[in-house]
Structure 1
Amino acid sequence: MTTITTRLGSQLTTRLSHRPTRRVVAPEVRRRRRVQMAWALLVLNVMTFFPGAPHILPIPGSLGKLIAQGALIGALVMALSVNRPVRIRPSVFVFLVMLLAAEGLLASVRAEFLFGALFRAGRLCGFALVLWLLTPWWPRRDLLLLRTHLMVLWAIVASVVLGLLVAPGLAMTENRLAGVLWPIPPTQVGHYTAVAAGLSVVLWMSGHLRRGIAFTSVAVCIPVLLLTHTRTALLALVVGLLIAGLSLFTGRSRVRKAFAIGIVVFSVGALTLSSVVTTWLARGQDAQELGALTGRKLVWDAILAQPRTTFETLFGFGLSNKSFNGLPIDSNWLGTYYDVGLVGIAITIMLVLFVLIAAWFRPQGPHRAIALFLVAYCVVASFTESGLSEASSYLLDLTLAASLVYNTSTREGPR
């Protein structure tokens, strides 16, 4: 009897040992994934769905807008699920964003289109609330939010490339590359590709990204950027990389080599490809169109000539879709002045200056270099693009920079 029992026990043990074991995911890994999902949903929220833009997927306009706007609610739920009990870190940056949202609410009460203005102001409040809930993960050494943002940008660029391969005629409408799987205008495609390429280069220069991955990212993003014919994004990328590289120049030999190679390539290109570069920059426009900044100057002059009361001068006309008389404003500073007045401009300037000064006084290293790149990019782009005073990809970029220069004695986030 003892022998039979022993044999049955050994057989049972053998069967159990051969059963597939269930993979156990550590709590820290689950938290990281939820934080990454919350940030990815924030990016989706700022990818406005344009029903009139060409796209190949049969997504109704109302459904596309619902997906984009509902992503903010999903991000809020995800942030609350990972941040239990609710803990936040004090942040001057997020406080300024909340102040800007409150000022937008005040201005929107008297807006002509009340519902739309209040909705945009409430969206900015929810956006800032999610940012505040994610502050415990700002000071991590593994650059969790930055790496998540870069992976999301790579996914967006991949969708644009896939759309170009599937429907090249539709993607190259008006000879400028746009996203057609999810409708993304050429200017936004240029922004995403420029930031992805810039972050890849700065991370490689800092030693936080392997050369092969950085090279692949640049080799894909730069041609896509050139196909969008977005001059602002290209200029902002060059200025941002120059400032970030100079911040690492004395401490990294690969940065000095990269600068030397860049100077040689620029010199050769200036001598041999000057006509091609000039044609690309002109984008088929004559001198008069270039002088009027592709029609932007007419809109800007009209905004400055708009009659307004003292209240409207200080607090604006309420949050809009960044258009004036049906035409895009295409300037962060004029758009901010129109929406939230001089007070809103002051708050936006404080946002930029706070991150810039905090980055300037940080020790030399990748956090400082990446933050300087993002701030420089946003400042250059702000002259012909809008977004620093609303829930947008530019405000997300500036938030990333603020997270990198967050001043705390403990560099690790929650476990």
Structure 2
Amino acid sequence: MFVWPHKLILKTCGTTTLLLGLPTLLRIASETCGFEGVWRCFYSRKTFMFPDRQRGPHKDWAQEMSFMDKLFENSSAYTVGRMNGDHWLLYLTPPRDDVLLPRALEASNTLPPSKPETPLSALSASLSTTPSALPPLSPQRRDGALPLLKPRLVPSRPDQTLEILMTSLSPAACRKFYHPSSSPASPVPYTTPLYPTDPLVVDGDAHALGAKLSDDLGLTAILPGATLDSFLFAPCGFSQNAVRGDRYATVHVTPEEAYSYASFECNFDFGGLDSFSTAGTPGFEMDGFDLNNGGAVRAKAESLQQLVEKVLAIFEPAKMSITLFVSDEELAGGESGNEGTHSKARAHEGMRQLLNPELLERYERVDRILYEFEGYSLVYAVFQQRGKAA
């Protein structure tokens, strides 16, 4: 779970009943943080590998939608992809600007990322909505009312989320995610810290092994300077969360060859947008962008295709689905360079091509779907290794 003063991301796997936690989360947001409602909600998942093993509302997409509709209004739900094959399910709600809490938004960049060992009490204190924990009211508003956010005078960073869901990992890739005391041929009996019969399974060791594996595979380098929480399970399995400011990445791996699966999700600046003007904006900084002599800002972050290539090199999947969400907002002031609208989501490189030419020689695309929602564009694509059956 990733928590910012204005946003929460909750990602689970297996048979975790994620939706059943929403009422409690919404109550905490209301009673403790003072939010009057949810500005916008996104819920998505891939087709379940073992739908019969799911519990609660997750047994069926219709049940999930019905459960969510009891909590949110004016929702829309989509099935993206082949109904008789791999597809992706999406539930979202429209923006509700009447529930924004501007001071929480202003505070979002003032809280440093917590370390995995940070006590819960310390986290709760850091996210408090007491006056001492939030920035002071702006000079224009000394009456105690919440100050409104001023229009930004610089381009806002695009909100873009990449998700790569991979299956049928190569045997070599699967072996990387087994505990040293195990192997695909002879996994050790599963133990937990509650039953520490195997000293290698204690939390501290699992974190240390996970951190080393992350370094060895190059995952640590994907988000330099991030706070990482990596965990190598016994007998196998891997999980990692990384956060740096408002940027995050999360990785989950189930390496058993019979049903191997890996997921990678992040909201990095991919450098996928063309350059745009920030003339007259001194001191403007953007993660993944560089200020060029007070004029054009050009992407210096690695491209989306480079990031996808790195991820696929680690997991070597035979099949994968890739989704890319990109916000569709124009730059502040309506100016975006010579073409006027090329900063829109449709200009993002991922909307044109997700894989580089080298990867396209190894993978064929079996599905590609584009959607435009209110404020966002989505591309969904399915790839499989050439020569593999669909």
Normalising by structure 2, report the TM-score: 0.33
- State the structure with bigger RCO (CA 8 A, min sep 6), 1 or 2: 1
Larger radius of gyration: 1
Between Structure 1 and Structure 2, the one with more strand by share is: 2
Normalising by structure 1, report the TM-score: 0.31
